[in-house]
Amino acid sequence: MVAKFSSGLLKTGVIGSAIAAICCFTPVLAVTLGILGLGAITGYLDYVLLPVLAIFGGITIYALVRKREACHEGCAPSPPKPK
């Protein structure tokens, strides 16, 4: 169950990080807000998008650590080979 949870958490972290990075580093969001008539909001995007990027990056790292721990707990060492 831990592996399934961390897998979903990992997907959430990676997808959220990718979307936040696209919005931070490309003018997609600024152009979209300009088309919608909300161009005045673009000055405040850094206050929202950079913390969101950090949060989703943290979720990704947390999921990777949990996945590694689940593998170490669930993977038993192989028994010694008979001579």
> Model's pTM, two decimal places?
0.68
Please state the rounded mean pLDDT for residues 26-52.
Answer: 86
Give the closest residue to 42 by CA, choosing from 21, 27, 60, 22. 27
In 3D space, the residue among 51, 64, 54 whose CA is nearest the CA of residue 11 turns out to be 64
62 exposure class (CB count in 10 Å sphere: 0-12, 13-18, 19+): middle
- Tens of pLDDT along 47-57? 888 899 899 99
